[in-house]
Chain A
Amino acid sequence: MTQEVQSRPPEDLLLPPEVKGLRLLLWRVRHAEELRWVRVAALRVVFGVLMVALWEGVSGRLLDERIVSSPSLLLEAFFEIVSPRNPDGSLWIHFAYTMENTLWGYLLGAALGILFGFVLAEAEIVAQVIEPFIMAFNGVPRIAYAPLFIAWFGIERQPKIILVLTIVFFLTFVSTFSGIRSVPQELVNVARVLGGGKIAILRKIVLPSASPWIFNGLKISIPFGMVGAIVGEYIIADKGLGYLLQRYNNEYFTTGIILVIFILMFFVIAVNQALNWAEGRVLRWRPTSSLGQEAAIPN
């Protein structure tokens, strides 16, 4: 009994026993270690609200509304632009167009990137031969290729998809390639001694060992892939978020530009969250925190 009392945090002892119900809940949210995430979430909301309030406060007073926009203007513009009566077409049409292009480019680029990463990591001589060519192609900012892609693939969605594809391809290719190159040779040797054939070793040793790298490549590809789609639309398009940005820019419509930026932000956060979740499931075997776990292990 004594031990139990001692191991509790001191605040726990200060809590008067008659505190119950809602007050107890509030007290726990403020002090309990396991409810830390509630505190963090609540403080995040407070921080966000304060930022918005500040923005609203200075806009039109200290700073020109036409340059910095304001949350209320943003909200107004949002409802206007999502409306199907909008002459540009509803926001959803633009959003879907950009996302479809991103998705197709992403899927194709990632599939090719992972495939090539695997093949080239196994074919040493080929990898050495083409490495400088790949680096040269990848080293040039992708926007420089955009006019070429438009000339080759037209002004519809194809050049946008290809632009996304080339970006995603390189990121996933490099991460897969490095992942496979860093598979510990001891593990491969052990698997050989234990009777593993080439294909079995690839499936059971190389792929899982490289999977954290591959995931990383897939994750960083998302925002970069979207850049590709938007740049493509920015140059020439009649639809898409990039097209909207370009139009609003020509019209000096700051509120619209900020609105598109916000939409992109929310989207990237959502997708990243989903991928983190998937990664956590696939890579369950990785030690998350060695602290506290060590003590429980008998010899």
Chain B
Amino acid sequence: MENFSLDIHDRELVTIVGPSGCGKSTLLNILAGLYPPSVGEVLFEGRPIRGLNPEIGYVTQQDNLLPWRTLQKNVLLPLEFRGEAAANGAAERVRALIAKVGLAGFENHYPHELSGGMRQRANIIRTLVYNPRVILMDEPFGPLDAQTRLTLQNQLLELWQEERKTIIFITHDLTEAISLADRVVVMTGRPGGIKSVTPVRIPRPRDVYHIHQSEVYREVYDKLWEELRAEVAKVM
């Protein structure tokens, strides 16, 4: 990656699209602090990030739930790591989040007893439960079928509206990128850089099921698709 400079505002939902192999996931791994950047730096509230930042959550494409823990225990894990699992209100928060994403009644199921969509919801609330300020999402709905995808996008917007986190969301799906975002970033092919940053001026709360009928949506879609097509063509 080269020449990648982007300011992300507090409580903003930014989506990133780009050709495969342009370094989208690398970007998130660096932001999460899993790997240091070879050149340059990442500033979080003006301070450079060194190592893992407890205020940054990371939702990966694979749900990575622990197969030996029930849904409830999986969501509780980050609180256990922080020594807050037995604290007042911890169990209630876990239960409330589980209910909010429609998983009530499945608390004591193991991951292999849940569907892909349910596991991904569990993955998301496992990150929400410890209240990170920023959440990175790497194609979290990638492996899901179209209907489940829409439902989860809708739920994500509701959660974001309530919890007001800063979210950086990577996707391959232009519609998804536009439905969710305040701003959409298009990345260039190798070396990965920023091609454009487009604000999406569709009022909130949005209806992900009918967003494609909006005039603004179509304009943004056409613009982004032209830009993206040029980049994809370069890589091929």
- A interface list, Cβ under 8 A from B: 186-187, 189-197, 200, 204-205, 208-209, 211, 283, 285-287, 290, 293, 297-299
Contacts and interface: CB of A to CB of B under 8 A. Distances in A.
B115 A299 contact: yes
Interface stretch (B19-27, B63-71, B171-179, B224-232): B63-71
A197 B112 contact: no
Contact of A208 (B34, B68, B78): B68
26 contacts: A186-B64, A187-B64, A190-B64, A192-B34, A193-B32, A193-B52, A194-B78, A194-B126, A195-B54, A195-B81, A196-B77, A196-B81, A209-B68, A211-B68, A285-B68, A285-B69, A285-B112, A286-B67, A286-B112, A287-B112, A290-B112, A293-B112, A297-B113, A297-B118, A299-B115, A299-B145
Interface string B39-81: 0000000000000101011101010101111000000011011
B161 interface: no
Given A194-B130, A286-B67, A299-B117, A204 B80 contact: yes
A187 B123 CA distance: 12
B80 A299 contact: no
B52 A192 contact: yes
Nearest to B29: A189
A197 to B, nearest CB: 7
B110 interface: yes
B117 A189 contact: no
Given A186-B64, A205-B66, A285 B110 contact: yes
Interface string B193-225: 000000000000000000000000000000000
A192 B60 CA distance: 13
B99 interface: no
Given A293-B113, A297-B115, A204 B58 contact: no
B114 interface: yes
A296 to B, nearest CB: 8
Contacts, number: 72
B82 interface: yes
Given A192-B52, A195-B54, A285-B67, A200 B60 contact: no
B64 to A, nearest CB: 4
A204 B115 contact: no
B115 A187 contact: no
Given A299-B117, A299-B118, A193 B80 contact: no
Contacts of B66: 187, 204-205, 208
A200 B34 contact: no
Given A186-B62, A194-B81, 11 more contacts: A186-B64, A193-B32, A194-B77, A194-B126, A200-B80, A208-B68, A285-B110, A286-B68, A287-B112, A299-B117, A299-B145
Contacts of B117: 299
B81 A298 contact: no
Q: Kindly list the 5 A-B residue pairs having the minimum CB-CB distance in the complex, ordered from nearest.
A: A285-B68, A194-B78, A195-B81, A287-B112, A190-B64
Nearest to B78: A194
B10 to A, nearest CB: 21
Contacts of A286: 67-68, 112
Nearest to A290: B112
A58 to B, nearest CB: 51
Contacts of A297: 113-115, 118
A293 B112 CA distance: 9
Contacts of A190: 58, 60, 64
B166 to A, nearest CB: 16
A189 B77 CA distance: 14
